[in-house]
Amino acid sequence: MSKFQLDFSARKFTIRTSREENSRKTHLELVLSPQMQKPKIRTMEKLSSEIGVSRPTLSRFFQDPTSVRTSTRARIENALQTVDYVPNFFATKMNRKSSGLIGVIVPHLNDLFFSGLIEAIETSALAADYMVITQNSHNDPALEAQAARNMIAMGADGVIMAPIGDASSIDALSRLKQERPMVFVDSRLQDHFQDVDFIGTDNQQSIGLIVDYLCRSGEPPAFLAMPNLNSNNLEREQAYTSRMHELGHEPMVIPRSTNGETLGFEEYAYRLMDAYFSHGNLVDQTILCANDRLAIGVIRAANRHSLFGTAGKDPSRFRVAGHDDYPLSAFVFPSLTTVTQNTQAIAEAATGQLLRHIRREDRIEDAVSLTFDAELRLRDSA
């Protein structure tokens, strides 16, 4: 074993070498001296003592580096390279008018549509130098109300929210609206919050698009609604009924189950349609579902009853279609015909509108309602 030392700018380290003569292998080992390890500092008071600048000066630096003199800023930045210190995010934001935080409240985190929406909002927010904090209401009005209070307590500059629907706490959301700028996304509470911006999908256009396709390609569809009432559910059902009348067909809305409130969409649709199919009902029907998660449950029930036919034989007339282009829709069997929402555009528009309110760039009193068209996705199920 041989050993030698190198010294770069008074920071010493050792390289040890060893050689195995038979295998002719050389082993190099880098041994850091204690001087190479940055001292860990946990408090700003200790950091100010180490650097030799005052605590208020350090605080101003972490809030806004340009607020201190150039020479002082360079001194702090150079010193930070030599220590292990992570500033407390909330402490550095405490005295600022802006926290740099955008809140997002959604009814489900295990719903891939909302996961994609949050990701797109985060991307837009980061581009504007904002961070996103997310709260999941679990489709529970009490938890949604608590999430609204949390956003106020955490100092979010504004909130993007997909409300539960009719069960939402109007009092809690009214308080949030008084305290922070707010934008509804995906669904809205129009009867109570007509002065809140809404960004989402044009359900009239998207449902009309899929109804037109189903009617020209086969039997006119029946409509399966979501078990929980929100604006999307109502708008899509109304759009279905309206378009069917325009095309000269009689609408058929499948009656909701009374025990669907506590079930996931897939399980709800599976149980409901399995009961129908078990009695020979709707087995040759085209079914348009209010969202893709319902359609996935219908597909499971239909497969259980062999409604899609067998290769080489006459297929049945049963068809199913959805709405949203849920990420798993292309991978179920049969793959799901649906319409796709422009999630990226919705997220960018919602973030942009909220930031205009936060920065007070938008002085218009009337609420903005911005919707985006959907596109047809033709697959095997219809």
Q: What is the pLDDT of residues 145-159, one digit of tens each?
A: 999 999 999 899 999
Strand pairing partners for 13?
6, 32
Quick one: which H or E segment has residue 13? Answer: strand 11-20
304 Cβ contact list (under 8 Å, min separation 6): 274, 277
**Residue-wise pLDDT tens digits, 2-55:** 443 434 344 444 444 444 444 444 444 444 444 456 777 777 677 777 778 787
| Positions of CATH 3.40.50.2300 in the chain | 101-200+344-371, 203-342
Say how far apart CA 204 and CA 202 lie, in whole Å. 5
Q: What parts of the chain have a pLDDT lower than 70? A: 1-37, 44, 59-60, 63-64, 87-97, 260-262, 310-316, 361-365
Whole-angstrom Cα distance, residue 77 to residue 74?
5
Give the three-class secondary structure for 338.
strand
Residue 291 in contact with residue 265, Cβ under 8 Å?
A: yes
Superfamily of domain 203-342: Response regulator (3.40.50.2300)
Residue 249, by phi and psi: left (phi above 0), alpha (psi -120 to 50) or beta? beta
**208 φ, ψ to 5°?**
-60, -40
**C-alpha radius of gyration, the chain, whole number:** 29
Between CA 168 and CA 165 the distance in angstroms is 6
Look-up: residue for tokens 């050689």?
A: 19
Residue reference for tokens 């996961």: 115
* Maximum alpha-carbon separation in the chain: 92
pLDDT at 69: 80
pLDDT, residue 321, reads 98
For 319: left if phi > 0, alpha if psi spans -120 to 50, otherwise beta; the answer is beta
For position 313, what pLDDT does the model report? 52
Write down the pLDDT at residue 366: 75
Which CATH number is 101-200+344-371 given? 3.40.50.2300
